[in-house]
Amino acid sequence: MTGLVVAMDGPSGSGKSSVSRGAARALGLRYLDTGAMYRAMTWWMLQQGVDLADPAAVAARCGEPAIVSGTDPDGPAIHVDGVDVAEPIRRAEVTGAVSAVAAVPEVRARLVALQREIIGAGDIVVEGRDIGSVVWPRAAVKIYLTASAQARARRRSAEVAGSTVEAQQEAMARRDTLDSTRKTDPLSMAAGAIELDTTALTLDEVVAEVLRLVKERT
């Protein structure tokens, strides 16, 4: 299956990362976390003291940081100007600011170009919000993962120390609204995508279903 690209889109907490990594491992494919790239850009902007409420300021600086993404499903690395940012990009400060940065068209143009360079070699599972619709519409398999708002919040609060399900649900609803209503490349289900509701499924069940879909379509 040389050149295979699997696009995995969906809202936060739908299980994209665990499912994408599990499927990539099982299929011997690479893995790209495009959300980590938007987070890395946001981390850098915060470090630089850029006013994130000012899209023009974000646009003016977004060409500066060198963002390098690894593609190993067992430990996807992400570096900004040579600094390993895998841990700080998961902090609440970045999570709360990333949707504003990701809404800036110049940021998207730059990161989508980087993503296409990595995807070009194929044999990869790519997770994000706009992979099947914008970044790689010709992906052989496009999956749109969903889950109930409660299930998504429950999963996320289990990952984030000291957070309640209610607080997570509220924060995720805010981020989903920003991500799906922005003008450039909003979160949406791509033409030809298969929707997979993971609310009542275990991780292994979802990965098995993805593997079945990949087999069926390749």
Interface map 144-183 toward ligand C5P (x if CB under 6 A) = -------------------------------x---x----
Among 21, 39, 110, 142, binds ligand C5P (CB under 6 A): 39
Q: Is 123 exposed, middle or buried (0-12, 13-18, 19+ CB in 10 A)?
A: middle
192 marked among binding-site residues: no
Tell me the H-state helices in the chain. Answer: 16-27, 34-48, 55-61, 92-102, 105-119, 149-159, 165-181, 203-217
Choosing from 8, 12, 139, 143, the residue that interacts with ligand C5P (CB under 6 A) is 12
CA–CA distances in Å: residue 119 to residues 33, 69, 116, 136, 209: 11, 11, 5, 8, 23
17 assigned ligand-binding residue = yes
Residue 215 CB, shortest distance to ligand C5P, in Å, is: 25
Closest Cα partner for 2 from 122, 140, 118, 119? 122
Q: Which is nearer to ligand C5P, 58 or 98 (CB)?
A: 98
Residue 185 token pair: 């490349």
Taking residues 124 to 143 in sequence order and writing x for each that binds ligand C5P by CB under 6 A, - otherwise, the string is: ----xxx-------------
Is 198 one of the binding residues for ligand C5P (CB under 6 A)? no
Residue selected from 18, 35, 59, 61 as contacting ligand C5P according to rule CB under 6 A: 35
Q: How far is CA 147 from CA 13, 48, 68, 195, in A?
A: 8, 36, 30, 10
Cβ–Cβ < 8 Å for 111, 38: yes
Neighbours of 188 (CB within 10 A): 16
Q: Is 20 annotated as a binding residue?
A: no
Closest distance between ligand C5P and the C-beta of residue 13, in Å?
A: 8
Distance of alpha carbon 64 from alpha carbon 100, whole angstroms: 18
**Given candidates 71, 99, 157, 169, which one binds ligand C5P under the rule CB under 6 A?**
99
Taking the complex as a whole, the smallest distance from the CB of residue 88 to ligand C5P amounts, in Å, to 13
Contact mark string toward ligand C5P, 49..68, x via CB under 6 A: --------------------
Residues that bind ligand C5P (CB under 6 A): 12, 34-35, 38-39, 98-99, 102, 128-130, 175, 179
Binding residues for ATP: 10-18
